[in-house]
Structure 1
Amino acid sequence: MTAIPQERRLVTAVPGPKSLELQARRTATVAGGVGSTMPVFAARAGGGVLEDVDGNRFIDFGSGIAVTTVGASAEAVVRRATAQLADFTHTCFMITPYEGYVAVCEQLAELTPGDHAKKSALFNSGAEAVENAVKIARSYTKRQAVVVFDHGYHGRTNLTMALTAKNMPYKNGFGPFAPEIYRVPVAYGYRWPTGPENCGPEASAQAIDQISKQIGAENVAAIIIEPVLGEGGFIEPAKGFLPALAKFAKDNGIVFVADEIQSGFCRTGQWFACEDEGIVPDLITTAKGIAGGLPLAAVTGRAEIMDAAHSGGLGGTYGGNPVACAAALGSIETMRELDLPAKARRIEEIMKARLATLREKYDVVGDVRGRGAMIAIELVKDRESKEPAAEATAALAKACQQAGLLVLTCGTYGNVLRFLPPLVIGEDLLNEGLDIIEQAFAGL
């Protein structure tokens, strides 16, 4: 599958001399607002391993934030993208269309939930997809208000910053933001005051009540939610919450939008996370895992809603770039051939069993949650108060990185370790990564 040996190897300090040299060049020319998790510079990646410029190899539990689901250099992605590069790199679909764009839209119509007629529009990034979903919903409903949720993340453009819940680092100092955005509670079971068993019905009732009283259902164009909240802390909304919101939307002519940018394309053990409770969204936004690392995003939905925007109202110079479309077809081919939903479920089985033992052993582990290969640990200072342990989370992530394991943090309170391994990772590497996590906790 990949020429890179699938083994962890540390041959220098982290970061090594070549990474330090590149860091000096970066500091001189790259804007300071662009951060990085790891202090090393990548040279190669594939399977479950990332190799830096000094020859160190890291086990990858990040997948470029859920992008390299099929690995960073999957054969079918490289083959198809290379062939397309030789033919042409760009014509602009809005000027001279090409088959690859149509083929990706056909795949999206087949793979996304529901058997209704569907259409898609392709873009470059997740934020673009969400922004265009709002445009489409407003055009279809002739309404303006958009409902989003506590702990939600939807992007870094002006409109999607307004949709995003977390101030730092995404919104701080960047306002004013787009109007007609309304935030309501989400069913965060671990932190729900009356306990997780009551969370789904209570949170949905509270959210619906706020929408009805504070906005008016008749004014709402769209309800947008991540079926598993990503940056907010890998929060799975308590059972019953999503179906209640979807029903409320349907009953009131509101477009229900599932933001599957991080959770989609096999990541949670199903093709799309909203399938878990049988949700069939009106629109679904995708990006990240869709194209094996090349920039591509989509809005897919009911044909009559997607057709609401006037001709020329959707698009963009690079949207649905032919090389990215070829990569997407290769990525989907790999997901089908390797049955990556099943591999994600196997990753969950291994990870949750190991992480459950950590929770038994260490009081700092408040919650272990997630589905498929989208797993997280929430860390707290004590289990009674559930006060977030952000410092411990940062320390653990750094210890893992120094030992050769790439892990990411997230959460509104900065206290969640999130694990997003490529779905093609070997079980030996997966278990070695979990060994490193256990050692990091032992040294806390």
Structure 2
Amino acid sequence: MSELTAVEVSYDLLEKPRREAIQASAQHLLKEIDRPKAIHEKTLSLREYIWPALDAYGHDQSLPHDYELSLLPLSRIGAEQGFSGSSILLGYFKHKKNTSLFPSQPMVIKLREKCPTAFGKLSELRDELHRAERLRPYISYHKSQYALPLHISDDLPGMGYQVLWSPFALTDLVQRHQSGLSFLEAPDLRQLLKIKKGGEPSEESLKKALKVVESAFQIMGPLHKRDGTARSVSTSFHKEYEPYLRKLGEGWGSSWREIWGTQQKTSDFNICWVNPFWVLSELMARNNVLLRLGAIHGDLHPGNILYATPERPFLIDFGWADDNAHIAKDFVLLECNLRFIYFPADVSFSEVRRFAQMNAQDVAWPEDLNKRFKPRFDVIQSLRKAFLDAHGVKVDWMTEYVIPLFLVSMGLLRYVDQYTNQVAARLTVLELAQYINDNYLLQVE
């Protein structure tokens, strides 16, 4: 092989430190790819997964290896950091001079500032790499639709960022970019639901959104069932859901405790409720709860579900992935996004409350409720049906779904200032706490 020249980054809107970190990491990755049959984790060829065309080109010693990393001008590029503190970009490699050479697969590029870690603890993105590796045995039937990470740069000298690279097969993005389009809309579930810019989806968008959700959970079937090895296990809500409370007891939760207090009953919106913190305490103290454990994505919100067509979704971002966890996590987090994170703001209190009360397994659409909420209800019903299918055995709806929905909702109060409807978030938590108290805690005492 001839010597690799410096990799150019064809995008000018990144801050210099982030741009330089991506450039250094890209150079490091290409050196690995440019070796004949470079092996990653002893089993995977980086070249095969990231840039298979190099097998046809890479052994020609006479050609210079002048490569460029093109970052796609998508709405995700340069976006503000997510709840995890990471930024996500999309990009692909191409040859600067040999334009006939097929470009690489598109890649999710995850960027995170380095921070000190405790002795023996993995950095956040290296932990994501390890988590994703444990999922690999369970995605074989649909592996091209998972953007599992393959390469990380977190120890390059002088670089203040970790950079994680995850190839996936949404190649039409690259083709559209190379055809000269100056801006590409990120094809993810948020756009179909029109929850990013507000407003309710059109009938056509709703049909597509429903199909994307159905297709996403269909390809995740082997994952959730762990290729047939998923089992109902005696465990506890604390063990399964403490991370999803997002450090509720370490600071940010104090303001909510001031609002709701510590007694069994509380008052909010001039209404008497059972206190969500009292319900939380009761649930977290219970052991020997039977829950269905499989493999999960762990952070399944609309922005992590991309698609080529509604029948071909792609899953990205595996920082919360787990090969042995309660499968409801993938379903209830997506439901939280639909119920309050992206809920419209111009809604009456009574309508928001009625929507927040739809917690029973057999809930039907109330015909007298504003029809603008029907699209969200339909998507929620679709994902609930997918949960029942994934569970595969008789479901205790309260312990397997409603309580996890409450626990995840409680944790998401941490970011309530960022939601389009803060009242919806608050009412969802209050109504779930009341429902659990009336239909579970009072029944098992």
Q: Specify which structure has the higher proportion of helix.
A: 2
Structure label with greater radius of gyration: 2
Shorter-chain TM-score: what band?
under 0.3
Query: TM-score, with normalisation over the residues of structure 2?
Result: 0.23
Query: TM-score, with normalisation over the residues of structure 1?
Result: 0.23
